């Protein structure tokens, strides 16, 4: 766990004028009942990634009713959403997610993310003429199963955005302003062998299932020799259809997680080598499909933005840390890909005092509990006031830029995510 050290120059940052901040807070709080209905409505719809048609329509109508033009289906994704208030730069995006999990529904609480983002947008939009610049609400599909933010970025959705903010629900006694995550990528594996009678002519076969099993064992052995923060998962998806036939096709999916992009690249190459070795040992032919959807990279939290969010959400009476923390043992989000392109934050907001695992039905119930509803309003206020500070204060914008450059500046994500070398 790394400690985020506060830059002394941050103390000179004034942020948005107090009357504007009070108006933003009042606006969001006045919408609390409506935001609750939005959150619960999204929760009840529960559509999976790329299929969030009713969810995005609900959010779009919520905004149109309040006088904001909304574009749905831009950037090649039919369930994306964009609304904008103000004009010109600086321009900050607040990101909404609304996809659910198959069989679990909103067990990751994306209904809270959506409602808080909409609330933050509306809070800032009412004061954006006084603040200057622009605020954009971007609905980003398929965080769970398709890396919608990477697809949107490749299509130019963030080309005019200077900074981005969003939050994510979690459970526990305290929240994290400077969130860290794991990179993750998948590879689909198919081995092609030769079918034969398993009893009368096994010598004429080449066993594709043996190749998968050997690869699985190699990956299991590799787990002992990777950093404690990193993860390897493997699932056999196909292994033959008749016990008396040498399997001529077998398959698996391997998932790789790492705390940093370099680690992801290193482990990916080792996995590729293991897969090729299994093919060589069994006389089978290996076919790999790396990144069937774009890989997710680690979140790089911007210190200056996280510090402002920390101040605003603390004022709401929430216990939050400024330490950079890998929450819940480490999970992954497509916000990481965006955070390597532009300054970003992805803080957590608690929806329960207990510790309930995400991606469960119980977590989903917390997302529509009174604590979940309070998180929507508090989170919306925290995000809105952080956006307002950025728009109003050139010193904060400069500090955000300096922090982003000190962390490595913008990354060419597409070049970084090339498949491993085949030998």
Can you spell out the DSSP letters for 315-369? TTT--EEEEEEEGGG----THHHHHTTS-EE--EEES-SS---SSSHHHHHHTTS
Token pair listed for 114: 């959506």
Helices (H), 169-207: none
Q: For the chain, what are the domain ranges?
A: 8-181+296-406, 183-294
Token pair listed for 77: 């994704």
Residue 14 has pLDDT above 80, yes or no: no
- What pLDDT is stored for residue 12 in this prediction? 63
Residue 354 has pLDDT above 90, yes or no: no
- Residue 201: band (very low, low, confident or very high) from pLDDT cuts 50, 70, 90: very high
What radius of gyration, in Å, describes the C-alpha atoms of the chain?
Answer: 23
Beta bridge partners, 137, equal 83, 94
Percentage of the chain lying above the pLDDT 70 cut: 97
- What pLDDT is stored for residue 378 in this prediction? 98
**Domain 8-181+296-406 falls under CATH 3.40.630.10:** yes
Tell me if residue 382 falls in helix, strand or coil. Answer: helix
Average pLDDT of the chain, as a whole number: 95
Instruction: Name the phi and psi angles at 212, rounded to 5.
Output: -65, -45
- What pLDDT is stored for residue 282 in this prediction? 98
Residue 373 has pLDDT above 50, yes or no: yes
Can you spell out the DSSP letters for 300-311? ---HHHHHHHHH
Question: Which stretch of DSSP H or E encloses residue 122?
Answer: helix 110-125
Can you spell out the DSSP letters for 19-53? HHHHHHHHHHHHTHHHHHHHHHHHHHH-PBTT--H
Q: What is the pTM of this model?
A: 0.93
Q: Do 243 and 292 form a contact (C-beta atoms < 8 A)?
A: no
**Domain 183-294 falls under CATH 3.30.70.360:** yes
Residue 11 has pLDDT above 60, yes or no: no
161 closest CA partner among 153, 170, 171, 169? 153
- What pLDDT is stored for residue 63 in this prediction? 98
């Amino acid at each position: 766990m790394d400690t985020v050290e506060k830059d002394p120059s941050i103390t000179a940052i004034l942020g948005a004028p107090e009357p504007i901040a009070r108006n933003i807070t009042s606006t969001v709080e006045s919408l609390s009942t409506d935001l609750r209905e939005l959150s619960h409505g999204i929760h009840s719809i529960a559509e999976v990634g790329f299929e969030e048609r009713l969810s995005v329509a609900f959010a779009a109508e919520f905004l149109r009713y309040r006088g904001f033009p909304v574009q749905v289906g831009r950037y090649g994704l039919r369930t994306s959403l964009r609304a904008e208030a103000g004009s010109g730069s600086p321009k900050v995006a607040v990101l909404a997610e609304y996809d659910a999990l198959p069989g679990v529904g909103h067990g990751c609480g994306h209904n809270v993310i959506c409602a808080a983002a909409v609330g933050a947008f509306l809070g800032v939009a009412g004061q954006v003429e006084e603040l200057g610049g622009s605020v954009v609400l971007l609905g980003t599909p398929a965080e769970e199963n398709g890396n919608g933010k990477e697809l949107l970025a490749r299509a130019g959705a963030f080309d005019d955005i200077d900074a981005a903010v969003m939050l994510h629900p979690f459970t526990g006694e305290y929240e994290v302003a400077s969130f860290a995550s794991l990179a993750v990528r998948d590879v689909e594996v198919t081995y092609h062998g030769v079918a034969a009678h398993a009893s009368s002519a096994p010598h004429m076969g080449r066993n594709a299932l043996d190749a998968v099993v050997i690869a699985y064992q190699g990956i299991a052995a590799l787990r002992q020799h990777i950093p404690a923060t990193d993860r390897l998962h493997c699932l056999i998806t196909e292994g033959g259809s008749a016990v008396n036939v040498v399997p001529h096709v077998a398959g698996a999916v391997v998932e790789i997680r790492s705390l940093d992009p370099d680690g992801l690249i290193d482990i990916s190459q080792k996995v590729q080598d293991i897969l090729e070795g299994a093919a060589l040992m069994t006389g089978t032919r290996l076919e790999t499909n790396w990144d069937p959807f774009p890989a997710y990279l680690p979140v790089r939290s911007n210190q200056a933005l996280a510090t402002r969010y920390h101040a605003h959400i603390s004022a709401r009476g929430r216990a939050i840390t400024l330490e950079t923390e890998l929450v819940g043992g480490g999970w992954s989000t497509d916000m990481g890909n965006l955070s390597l392109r532009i300054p970003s934050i992805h803080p957590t907001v608690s929806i329960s005092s207990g510790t309930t695992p995400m991606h469960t039905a119980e977590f989903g119930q917390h997302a529509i509990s009174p604590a979940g509803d309070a998180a929507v309003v508090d989170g919306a206020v925290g995000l809105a006031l952080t956006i307002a500070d950025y728009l109003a204060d050139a010193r904060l914008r400069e500090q955000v830029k300096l922090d982003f450059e000190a962390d490595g500046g913008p990354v060419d994500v597409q070049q970084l995510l090339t498949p491993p070398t085949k030998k």
